[in-house]
Protein backbone atom coordinates (compact mmCIF):
# COMPACT_ATOMS: atom_id res chain seq x y z
CA UNK A 1 0.00 0.00 0.00
CA UNK A 2 1.26 3.47 -0.86
CA UNK A 3 0.73 6.67 1.03
CA UNK A 4 -2.92 7.69 1.32
CA UNK A 5 -4.48 11.11 1.90
CA UNK A 6 -7.86 11.59 3.58
CA UNK A 7 -9.02 15.22 3.50
CA UNK A 8 -11.21 16.16 6.44
CA UNK A 9 -14.44 17.93 5.56
CA UNK A 10 -14.34 19.56 9.00
CA UNK A 11 -12.45 22.34 7.18
CA UNK A 12 -14.84 22.45 4.23
CA UNK A 13 -17.69 24.87 3.55
CA UNK A 14 -20.69 23.04 4.99
CA UNK A 15 -23.10 25.21 3.02
CA UNK A 16 -21.68 23.80 -0.21
CA UNK A 17 -20.63 20.35 0.89
CA UNK A 18 -21.04 18.37 -2.33
CA UNK A 19 -18.99 20.95 -4.21
CA UNK A 20 -16.32 20.81 -1.49
CA UNK A 21 -16.17 17.01 -1.72
CA UNK A 22 -15.61 17.11 -5.48
CA UNK A 23 -12.77 19.60 -4.96
CA UNK A 24 -10.67 16.84 -3.37
CA UNK A 25 -11.53 13.96 -5.71
CA UNK A 26 -7.82 13.13 -6.14
CA UNK A 27 -7.84 11.87 -2.53
CA UNK A 28 -7.85 8.25 -1.43
CA UNK A 29 -10.52 8.73 1.23
CA UNK A 30 -12.95 11.37 2.44
CA UNK A 31 -12.56 11.83 6.20
CA UNK A 32 -15.81 12.63 7.98
CA UNK A 33 -15.55 13.78 11.60
CA UNK A 34 -18.59 12.88 13.68
CA UNK A 35 -18.73 14.72 17.03
CA UNK A 36 -21.53 14.55 19.56
CA UNK A 37 -20.75 17.47 21.88
CA UNK A 38 -20.16 15.04 24.77
CA UNK A 39 -17.06 12.95 24.08
CA UNK A 40 -15.51 16.09 22.60
CA UNK A 41 -16.66 19.70 23.14
CA UNK A 42 -17.86 20.19 19.59
CA UNK A 43 -20.88 19.15 17.53
CA UNK A 44 -20.72 18.34 13.82
CA UNK A 45 -22.95 15.90 11.98
CA UNK A 46 -24.57 12.50 12.35
CA UNK A 47 -25.94 9.49 10.53
CA UNK A 48 -28.34 11.12 8.03
CA UNK A 49 -25.70 13.54 6.76
CA UNK A 50 -23.01 10.87 6.50
CA UNK A 51 -25.40 8.61 4.61
CA UNK A 52 -26.02 11.36 2.05
CA UNK A 53 -22.30 12.15 1.79
CA UNK A 54 -21.60 8.49 1.06
CA UNK A 55 -24.09 8.62 -1.81
CA UNK A 56 -22.38 11.54 -3.57
CA UNK A 57 -18.70 11.11 -2.68
CA UNK A 58 -16.38 9.76 -5.39
CA UNK A 59 -14.05 8.59 -2.59
CA UNK A 60 -14.79 5.95 0.06
CA UNK A 61 -15.85 7.35 3.44
CA UNK A 62 -13.48 7.26 6.39
CA UNK A 63 -15.72 8.00 9.40
CA UNK A 64 -14.05 9.17 12.61
CA UNK A 65 -16.48 8.84 15.50
CA UNK A 66 -15.65 11.19 18.35
CA UNK A 67 -18.76 10.13 20.22
CA UNK A 68 -19.94 8.34 23.32
CA UNK A 69 -21.27 4.77 23.14
CA UNK A 70 -19.52 3.64 19.94
CA UNK A 71 -20.49 0.06 20.89
CA UNK A 72 -24.01 1.00 19.78
CA UNK A 73 -23.33 3.58 17.08
CA UNK A 74 -20.24 2.41 15.18
CA UNK A 75 -22.00 -0.41 13.25
CA UNK A 76 -24.72 2.01 12.21
CA UNK A 77 -22.18 4.21 10.47
CA UNK A 78 -20.95 1.20 8.52
CA UNK A 79 -24.56 0.48 7.54
CA UNK A 80 -24.92 4.15 6.48
CA UNK A 81 -22.13 3.78 3.93
CA UNK A 82 -18.79 4.31 5.67
CA UNK A 83 -16.10 2.01 4.26
CA UNK A 84 -13.86 2.56 7.27
CA UNK A 85 -15.17 3.35 10.76
CA UNK A 86 -12.90 4.63 13.53
CA UNK A 87 -14.07 4.70 17.13
CA UNK A 88 -12.19 5.96 20.18
CA UNK A 89 -10.67 3.44 22.55
CA UNK A 90 -11.45 5.82 25.43
CA UNK A 91 -15.19 5.75 24.69
CA UNK A 92 -15.59 2.03 24.01
CA UNK A 93 -16.84 -0.60 26.43
CA UNK A 94 -15.61 -3.52 24.29
CA UNK A 95 -13.25 -2.43 21.47
CA UNK A 96 -12.77 -5.98 20.19
CA UNK A 97 -16.51 -6.56 19.87
CA UNK A 98 -16.97 -3.27 18.01
CA UNK A 99 -14.20 -4.19 15.57
CA UNK A 100 -15.73 -7.60 14.93
CA UNK A 101 -19.17 -6.08 14.37
CA UNK A 102 -17.73 -3.62 11.84
CA UNK A 103 -15.91 -6.35 9.96
CA UNK A 104 -19.08 -8.45 9.78
CA UNK A 105 -20.70 -5.51 8.02
CA UNK A 106 -17.85 -5.31 5.52
CA UNK A 107 -16.24 -2.16 6.91
CA UNK A 108 -12.66 -1.64 7.96
CA UNK A 109 -12.38 -1.49 11.75
CA UNK A 110 -10.20 1.21 13.25
CA UNK A 111 -9.47 2.37 16.77
CA UNK A 112 -8.31 5.88 17.70
CA UNK A 113 -6.09 6.99 20.56
CA UNK A 114 -6.19 10.45 22.11
CA UNK A 115 -2.78 12.03 22.84
CA UNK A 116 -2.94 11.09 26.52
CA UNK A 117 -3.75 7.42 25.91
CA UNK A 118 -0.69 5.13 25.89
CA UNK A 119 -0.24 2.94 22.85
CA UNK A 120 0.23 -0.08 25.12
CA UNK A 121 -3.51 0.06 25.80
CA UNK A 122 -4.22 -1.64 22.46
CA UNK A 123 -1.04 -3.61 21.75
CA UNK A 124 -2.40 -6.95 22.97
CA UNK A 125 -5.45 -6.61 20.71
CA UNK A 126 -3.76 -5.16 17.63
CA UNK A 127 -4.81 -8.09 15.43
CA UNK A 128 -8.45 -7.04 15.89
CA UNK A 129 -7.98 -3.77 14.00
CA UNK A 130 -7.38 -2.85 10.37
CA UNK A 131 -6.12 0.61 11.28
CA UNK A 132 -5.04 2.62 14.30
CA UNK A 133 -5.55 6.37 14.33
CA UNK A 134 -2.96 8.24 16.37
CA UNK A 135 -4.34 11.67 17.21
CA UNK A 136 -1.63 14.29 16.80
CA UNK A 137 -3.84 16.96 18.39
CA UNK A 138 -6.55 16.82 21.02
CA UNK A 139 -9.73 15.70 19.21
CA UNK A 140 -12.58 18.14 18.77
CA UNK A 141 -11.41 21.08 16.67
CA UNK A 142 -9.44 21.59 13.46
CA UNK A 143 -6.47 23.87 12.95
CA UNK A 144 -4.50 22.82 16.03
CA UNK A 145 -0.71 22.52 16.23
CA UNK A 146 0.88 19.16 15.44
CA UNK A 147 2.26 17.18 18.42
CA UNK A 148 5.61 15.65 17.32
CA UNK A 149 5.93 13.56 20.49
CA UNK A 150 3.09 11.36 19.19
CA UNK A 151 5.56 9.88 16.71
CA UNK A 152 6.73 7.47 19.43
CA UNK A 153 3.29 5.86 19.20
CA UNK A 154 3.49 5.65 15.43
CA UNK A 155 6.93 4.03 15.57
CA UNK A 156 5.79 1.53 18.20
CA UNK A 157 2.75 0.55 16.13
CA UNK A 158 4.77 0.15 12.94
CA UNK A 159 7.32 -1.99 14.74
CA UNK A 160 4.58 -4.20 16.23
CA UNK A 161 2.87 -4.54 12.85
CA UNK A 162 6.10 -5.52 11.13
CA UNK A 163 6.99 -8.00 13.85
CA UNK A 164 3.60 -9.66 13.46
CA UNK A 165 3.86 -9.70 9.67
CA UNK A 166 0.71 -7.61 9.37
CA UNK A 167 -0.27 -4.74 7.12
CA UNK A 168 -1.72 -2.49 9.80
CA UNK A 169 -2.65 0.94 8.50
CA UNK A 170 -1.46 3.74 10.76
CA UNK A 171 -3.36 6.99 10.42
CA UNK A 172 -2.55 10.39 11.90
CA UNK A 173 -4.95 13.28 12.33
CA UNK A 174 -4.13 16.79 13.46
CA UNK A 175 -1.75 19.40 12.09
CA UNK A 176 -0.86 17.35 9.02
CA UNK A 177 0.59 19.64 6.36
CA UNK A 178 3.62 20.01 4.12
CA UNK A 179 5.92 20.73 7.06
CA UNK A 180 4.83 17.72 9.15
CA UNK A 181 3.81 14.91 6.78
CA UNK A 182 7.37 13.77 6.09
CA UNK A 183 8.02 13.37 9.82
CA UNK A 184 4.97 11.13 10.16
CA UNK A 185 5.83 9.08 7.08
CA UNK A 186 9.35 8.40 8.35
CA UNK A 187 7.91 7.30 11.71
CA UNK A 188 5.71 4.73 9.97
CA UNK A 189 2.43 6.46 9.22
CA UNK A 190 0.81 5.71 5.88
CA UNK A 191 -2.62 7.36 5.87
CA UNK A 192 -2.89 11.06 6.62
CA UNK A 193 -5.89 13.17 7.57
CA UNK A 194 -5.45 16.76 6.40
CA UNK A 195 -8.13 19.39 6.81
CA UNK A 196 -6.94 22.98 6.85
CA UNK A 197 -3.86 22.19 4.76
CA UNK A 198 -6.03 20.91 1.91
CA UNK A 199 -9.12 23.10 2.06
CA UNK A 200 -7.24 26.36 2.59
CA UNK A 201 -4.98 25.66 -0.38
CA UNK A 202 -5.59 27.53 -3.63
CA UNK A 203 -6.03 24.18 -5.40
CA UNK A 204 -7.20 21.51 -2.91
CA UNK A 205 -6.88 18.62 -5.37
CA UNK A 206 -3.31 19.58 -6.23
CA UNK A 207 -2.49 19.90 -2.54
CA UNK A 208 -3.68 16.33 -1.98
CA UNK A 209 -1.25 15.17 -4.66
CA UNK A 210 1.57 17.25 -3.18
CA UNK A 211 1.08 15.84 0.29
CA UNK A 212 0.99 12.28 -1.01
CA UNK A 213 4.19 12.85 -2.99
CA UNK A 214 5.99 14.38 0.01
CA UNK A 215 5.10 11.39 2.18
CA UNK A 216 6.20 8.89 -0.46
CA UNK A 217 9.46 10.73 -1.09
CA UNK A 218 10.26 10.85 2.64
CA UNK A 219 10.10 7.07 2.86
CA UNK A 220 11.93 6.51 -0.42
CA UNK A 221 14.87 8.62 0.78
CA UNK A 222 15.27 6.73 4.08
Spatial CB neighbours of 166, under 8 Å, sequence gap ≥ 6? 126, 127
Burial class (CB in 10 A: 0-12, 13-18, 19+), 56: exposed
Residues forming the active site:
33, 173
Judge contact between 196 and 143, C-beta under 8 A. yes
Residues in the chain: 222
Beta bridge partners of 73: none
Amino acid sequence: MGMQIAPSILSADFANLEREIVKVDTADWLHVDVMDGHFVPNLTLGLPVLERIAEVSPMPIDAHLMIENPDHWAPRYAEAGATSVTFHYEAANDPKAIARDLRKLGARASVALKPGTPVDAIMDDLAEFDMVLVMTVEPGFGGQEFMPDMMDKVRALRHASNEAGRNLWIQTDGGIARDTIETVARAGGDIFVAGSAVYKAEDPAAEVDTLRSLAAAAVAHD
